[in-house]
């Protein structure tokens, strides 16, 4: 079976798994009728894995690195949203910290992958 390039990337796999957890929080926000909160989290979460996938089809590593930067920026947006969710009483501090740790790990991996892409461009 053939695979697309992104499907082989650990960063994409981690983003998808983390996305499952974040989507559950967004679903809960919808149940609480906090639709704007839910939509923002859905969009930012999807952007993390979507930009990894989209970037993997780039013509150059430099262009792929740009998509990884966008993915990382979306991850930062998710972190901010989680802080807001906690402040609004939508998640506990423990839930935020657990997700924060996973997001921090993925952020570092995205940064390292971006650097590796740019180093192979030279």
pTM of the entire predicted model: 0.94
- Structural domains of the chain ordered from first start: 5-121 (1.20.1440.60)
| Residues present in the chain in total | 122
> pLDDT digit string (tens) for 60-116?
999 999 999 999 999 999 999 999 999 999 999 999 999 999 999 999 999 999 999
Residue whose token pair is 């930009």? 51
């Amino acid at each position: 079976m053939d695979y697309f390039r992104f499907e082989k990337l650990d960063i994409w796999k981690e983003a998808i798994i983390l996305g499952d957890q974040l989507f559950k929080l967004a679903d809960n926000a919808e149940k609480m009728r906090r639709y704007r909160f839910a939509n923002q989290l859905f969009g930012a979460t999807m952007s993390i894995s979507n930009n990894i996938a989209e970037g993997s089809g780039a013509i150059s590593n430099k262009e792929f690195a740009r998509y990884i930067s966008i993915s990382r920026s979306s991850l930062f947006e998710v972190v901010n949203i989680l802080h807001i969710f906690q402040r609004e009483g939508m998640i506990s501090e423990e839930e935020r910290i657990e997700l924060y740790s996973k997001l921090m790990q993925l952020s570092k991996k995205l940064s390292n992958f971006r650097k590796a892409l740019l180093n192979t461009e030279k």
